[in-house]
């Protein structure tokens, strides 16, 4: 081949790929900014809402704040690891991650490992700390489903079997969550599955059947337990039984109403003084509404809107560049953050029945903080590789333009010299969209599709 391209070693065509791989990416500044803003607001509000609870439990006023900061620091380390991990290596472990999902959800039933809290078997006992298994399952399941949609993208749109396989996996996970029980998480997993299938290109009419069957079944599960039925009925009129089934929601609504437009001031909440249960976890938004008012609630909603909107935008850009695994992961995380924050805010405002879902990055809770930080870390890695790929495309397009003008690639404009005719014609044969022999190598390097079945 060397006698066909004699001038190529002078430019180092083999070195061009190295230069492209060496191009760094950048983490999305919007994601970083909104993540720090939510985490910062969480630290402030956990400190404000948990002082009275800590004193009431005789563990000290800053016990829950200290725990929250420790888990936030640990979550930052987990996020840092994911931010430095190539997506391709994560995708290659998709099946292992799915197996781990079932292992974790089964371990909660093993005596000595699983731990029961408030009648629910959702926790793993690690000695120095407890961990809610489903928080890790959410992210691992999203990664597996994203990989599945890449490998069977055409089949999901064309066949019933390819669509029912992820639905079957979701139902199996839901069955384990029913045994715990954890109705909030199982609803979230089903909604994420449906959303990712739609965004992955499933044939929409085929989705109507599973949805029409699944919704009544879900409703029956919701009302099967007496305590769930009481939550549902009290949601309509919490003040009908303000000291019984409507106690949590009625106190939350009183806190929200007391906050009015600008709140009573940071630290001035009355409802957090042992009146509002779970003031630092599930009902932390009610404390925000009381202390920061309507403006504070709008700020929280705006921050989540930016986070979710940016995640969807990054996912769309990845799909446009044929980086489907990255795009579907971004879609899954966006759906997770959107649905969980919507449910948590809706519960606090009395728009939805009471569920045990925390406010991501704001509520206290080690498992939730770790899971959310890991998701944000993966999302930042996706933004990094997307930016890197865009820079590679821009570099190749610039060099292709120089080749078409007869200028040696990489030469500064002020010193550009025309290429010899043989070199220009040789490089022209490997420009983007021309000769197939050189095109595939450059295109795979610039716009890789990590799906093994793509």
3-state secondary structure of 248: helix
pLDDT of residue 254: 92
3-state secondary structure of 131: strand
pLDDT of residue 442: 35
Residues 337 and 343: their CA atoms lie apart, in Å, by 10
Q: Are the beta carbons of 306 and 34 closer than 8 angstroms? A: yes
pLDDT of residue 283: 92
Determine the straight-line distance between the first and last CA of the chain, rounded to whole angstroms: 31
Does residue 150 carry a pLDDT above 70?
yes
Residue carrying structure tokens 């599973």: 210
How would you classify residue 417: left for phi > 0, otherwise alpha for psi between -120 and 50, otherwise beta?
beta
What average pLDDT does this structure show over 13-17? Answer: 44
Q: How far, in whole angstroms, is CA 174 from its chain's centroid?
A: 19
Residues 347 and 342: their CA atoms lie apart, in Å, by 8
pLDDT of residue 231: 72
What average pLDDT does this structure show over 151-164? Answer: 84
The two beta strands, 120-125 and 114-117, are antiparallel
Q: How far, in whole angstroms, is CA 356 from its chain's centroid?
A: 19
Where residue 278 falls among pLDDT bands split at 50, 70, 90? confident
Does residue 427 carry a pLDDT above 60?
no
3-state secondary structure of 175: helix
DSSP 418: B
Residue carrying structure tokens 């820079």: 391
Helices (H) and strands (E) in the chain, counts: 18, 3
Residues 258 and 269: their CA atoms lie apart, in Å, by 9
Where residue 19 falls among pLDDT bands split at 50, 70, 90? low
pLDDT of residue 239: 82
Q: List helix spans (H) across 84-152.
A: 87-91, 94-107, 133-151
From residue 324, alpha-carbon distances to 40, 133, 221, 408 in Å are 32, 28, 35, 34
Residues 199 and 202: their CA atoms lie apart, in Å, by 7
Residue carrying structure tokens 């699944």: 214
C-alpha dihedral (357, 362, 364, 366), degrees to nearest 10: 80
pLDDT in tens, 56-106: 888 888 999 999 999 999 999 999 999 999 999 999 999 999 999 999 999
Among 48-52, 329-333, 424-428, the range scoring the smallest mean pLDDT is 424-428
pTM beyond 0.85: the answer is no
pLDDT of residue 76: 95
Closest CA to 428 of 22, 13, 17: 13
Q: Are the beta carbons of 63 and 45 closer than 8 angstroms? A: no
Using a pLDDT cut of 70, give the percent of the chain over it.
83
What average pLDDT does this structure show over 36-46? Answer: 95
Does residue 431 carry a pLDDT above 90?
no
User: 295-333: b or e for each residue (b if 16 or more CB lie within 10 Å)?
Assistant: ebbeebeebbebbbebbbebbebbbebbbbbbbbbbbbb
Q: Are the beta carbons of 186 and 177 closer than 8 angstroms? A: yes
pLDDT in tens, 192-233: 999 999 988 887 887 888 888 888 888 787 777 777 777 777
Burial class (CB in 10 A: 0-12, 13-18, 19+), 236: exposed
pLDDT of residue 414: 55
pLDDT: which is higher, 335 or 424: 335
From residue 352, alpha-carbon distances to 150, 184, 232, 311, 453 in Å are 35, 12, 9, 25, 41
């Amino acid at each position: 081949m060397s006698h066909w391209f004699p001038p190529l070693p002078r430019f180092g065509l083999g070195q061009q790929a190295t230069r492209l791989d060496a191009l760094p990416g950048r983490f999305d500044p919007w994601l970083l900014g909104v993540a720090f803003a939510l985490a910062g607001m969480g630290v402030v509000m956990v400190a404000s809402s948990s002082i009275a609870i800590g004193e009431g439990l005789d563990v000290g006023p800053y016990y829950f704040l200290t725990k929250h900061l420790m888990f936030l620091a640990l979550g930052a380390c987990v996020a840092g690891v994911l931010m430095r991990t190539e997506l391709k290596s994560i995708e290659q472990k998709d099946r292992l991650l799915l197996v781990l999902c079932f292992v974790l959800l089964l371990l909660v039933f093993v005596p000595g490992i699983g731990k029961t809290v408030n009648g629910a078997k959702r926790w793993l006992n690690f000695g120095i700390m407890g961990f809610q298994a489903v928080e890790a399952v959410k992210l691992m399941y999203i990664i597996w489903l994203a990989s599945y949609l890449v490998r069977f993208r055409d089949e999901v749109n064309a066949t019933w079997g390819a669509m029912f396989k992820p639905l079957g996996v979701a139902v199996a996970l839901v069955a384990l969550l029913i045994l715990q029980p954890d109705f909030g998480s199982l609803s979230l997993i089903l909604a994420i599955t449906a959303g990712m299938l739609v965004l992955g290109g499933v044939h929409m009419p085929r989705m109507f059947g599973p949805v029409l069957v699944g919704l009544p079944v879900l409703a029956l599960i919701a009302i099967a337990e007496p305590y769930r039925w009481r939550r549902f009925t009290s949601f309509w009129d919490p003040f009908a039984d303000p000291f019984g089934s409507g106690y949590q929601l009625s106190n939350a609504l009183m806190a929200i109403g007391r906050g009015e437009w600008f709140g009573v001031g940071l630290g001035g909440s009355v409802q957090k003084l042992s009146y509002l249960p779970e003031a630092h976890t599930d009902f932390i938004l009610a404390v925000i509404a009381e202390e920061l008012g309507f403006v504070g609630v709008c700020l929280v909603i705006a921050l989540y809107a930016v986070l979710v909107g940016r995640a969807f935008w990054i996912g769309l850009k990845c799909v446009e560049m044929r980086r489907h695994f990255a795009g579907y992961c971004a879609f899954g995380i966006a759906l997770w953050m959107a649905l969980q924050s919507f449910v948590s805010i809706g519960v606090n405002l009395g728009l939805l029945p009471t569920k045990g879902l925390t406010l991501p990055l704001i509520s206290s809770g080690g498992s939730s903080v770790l899971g959310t930080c890991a998701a944000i870390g993966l999302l930042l890695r996706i933004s990094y590789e997307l930016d890197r790929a865009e820079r590679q495309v821009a570099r190749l397009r610039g060099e292709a333009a120089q080749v078409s003008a007869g200028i040696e690639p990489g030469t500064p404009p002020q010193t550009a010299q025309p290429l010899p005719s043989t070199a220009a014609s040789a490089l022209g044969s490997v420009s983007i969209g021309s000769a197939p022999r050189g095109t595939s190598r450059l295109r795979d390097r610039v716009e890789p599709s990590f799906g093994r079945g793509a």
